[in-house]
Structures are given as C-alpha cells and as structure tokens.
Amino acid sequence: MGIEAQIEGLEQLVAVDAQLKVLRDELAKERNEIEAIATEKQRLEGQLAIDRASLIEMDKTRGELTQDHRHLGQQLDRSRERLSRARTERESQAAERELDELRKLHRDREIEVSKLVTLCDEARNTILNHETRIAELATRLDTSSPDAQGRMASLEADIAEKMAGRRQIGAKVGGLTVRRYDSMHARGKVPVARTTEGTCLGCYVQLPPMLFHSLLSRTQLGECPTCHRILYYSPPAAAATPDAEPLDASSTDA
C-alpha cells in the first residue's frame, strides 16, 4: 500500500464519515418527530383518563348536593309552616331562628351546586379538547408514519451503502492506521489533518521542524504532537486545486 493511496483513502474516509453524520442526523430527526407525537398522545391519554375519573367524581358529588339542596328546601317549607302556626312569642322566635339557619344552609348548598356545575362543564370541555387533540395526533401518526417510515428506510439503506463503501476504503488504508482513525473518530474528532506550511491544519499549532521535514517527502504519515490527528503533507497547489480548477474552467467556457 503506497502512501499516496493511503492518504487518498484517509481523505475518502473523512468525506464518507461527514456524509454518514448528515444521514444519521436526519434519521435521528425523523425518529424523534414520530416519537414526539407518540409521547404527546400518550401524555394526553393519561390526562384524559384522570379528567374522566374526576368528572365522574364531581358529577356524583353534584348529585348528592342537589339532593341535599332539595331536602333543605322541604325543611324550609316545614319551618315556615311552623312559624305560621306559632302561638307564643317564644315559639315564633325559635321558628325564626330555625328558618334563618335553614335559609343559610339552603343558600350555601345552592352556591356549592352552581360551582360544581361550572367545574363539571369545564371538565367536560377539557375532555372534549383532549379527545379532539388525541384524534388529531392519531391521524398524524397514521398518515405521516408511512411517509416517515419510507424516509427512514431509505436513509437506513443509504447509511448501509455508505458503510459498505467505508469498509472497502478502510481495507485499502490498512489495519493500524484505520484503527487509529476509528478510535479518534469514535471520540467525535475528525482524525486526519493536513499540513502545508508547517502548521497542523487540525489544531493550528506549529509542528516541530523535524516532524514537518519528515512529512514533506510524503513517504510516511505522521501524528500531530498536540491534537494527535493523523498528519500528512499537502502541497499548497494540491490543496487549492480541487475547488478552484472546475470553477475557473467553467467561467472561461462561459
């Protein structure tokens, strides 16, 4: 394996890893979107169950209070009757007191019932809103899921294809260098750096002159003492050509 082919392989590895990162990010984004919808739906379903249970409870209490209110109304009628039949001052005062107390209880119950009616209405509205939202999310999952599944399958196929290509490049570059590359890549670094004028273009630290000199002939790869990237010499012209040449050509053609 010649050094030139090895350098070319390393450049290809960097390029294919950059493409793989884009594809994997897209795949993660697709997955996250689907998951976010499913999670929100699940959360609302949980909330809906709680709201329904609490509505049943409030409806029951409201029923009891309404009955109590009716019952107090009947007591009020009887109390009024007693007052009308009172013969002595003492009897009439006692009946008045009882009537006052009952009136207050009757009124309190009425306020409680009306508060609960409002609360029940609000709960019913919330339940309706949640049901609507859950139905929307279910539709979104049903309709967007096949599209998203399709996109994810195609991304997975692209990734598999790139990975196969990557393995071939890796085999070309050779065992030890590939292992160094992979271990740095696994730590989230771009494992390769060029140097053109004696500076590592990965970390921009000046290289020891002896090291730079040993790389100039392109007979061996080096390692940057600062960032530990795999290092190789790239002549200034060669570094500029890939981007500059096709542009110049097309501008003179036009």
The tokens for 39 are 């999670």
Q: CA triplet 54, 59, 62: central angle to 5 degrees?
A: 125
Closest approach of Cβ 19 to Zn ion, in Å?
24
Cβ closest to Zn ion, residue 170 vs residue 202? 202
Q: Is 58 left (phi over 0), alpha (psi -120 to 50) or beta?
A: alpha
- Choosing from 170, 224, 233, 234, the residue that interacts with Zn ion (CB under 5 A) is 224
Distance CA 117, CA 180 (A): 72
Closest approach of Cβ 7 to Zn ion, in Å?
16
Distance CA 193, CA 10 (A): 10
Closest approach of Cβ 212 to Zn ion, in Å?
12
Distances (CA, A) of 228 to 183, 190, 207: 11, 11, 11
Cβ closest to Zn ion, residue 13 vs residue 192? 192
159 binds Zn ion (CB under 5 A): no
The tokens for 253 are 């053609």
Taking Cα atoms as reference points, which of 38, 241, 66 lies closest to residue 137? Answer: 38
227 binds Zn ion (CB under 5 A): yes
Non-local CB neighbours of 126 within 8 Å, separated by 6+ positions: 51
> Do residues 10 and 230 make contact, with C-beta atoms less than 8 angstroms apart?
yes
Cβ closest to Zn ion, residue 173 vs residue 224? 224
Closest approach of Cβ 205 to Zn ion, in Å?
6
Q: Judged by CB under 5 A, which stretch of 21-29, 85-93, 128-136, 218-226 contacts Zn ion?
A: 218-226
> Do residues 12 and 98 make contact, with C-beta atoms less than 8 angstroms apart?
no
Here's the x/- map for Zn ion, 174-203, by CB under 5 A: it reads as: --------------------------x-xx
Cβ closest to Zn ion, residue 11 vs residue 131? 11
Closest approach of Cβ 231 to Zn ion, in Å?
7
> Rg of the chain's alpha carbons, rounded to an integer?
40
Cβ closest to Zn ion, residue 9 vs residue 222? 222
Count the residues of the shown chain that bind Zn ion, applying the rule CB under 5 A: 6
Cβ closest to Zn ion, residue 9 vs residue 202? 202
226 binds Zn ion (CB under 5 A): yes
Applying CB under 5 A, the residues found at the interface with Zn ion are 200, 202-203, 224, 226-227
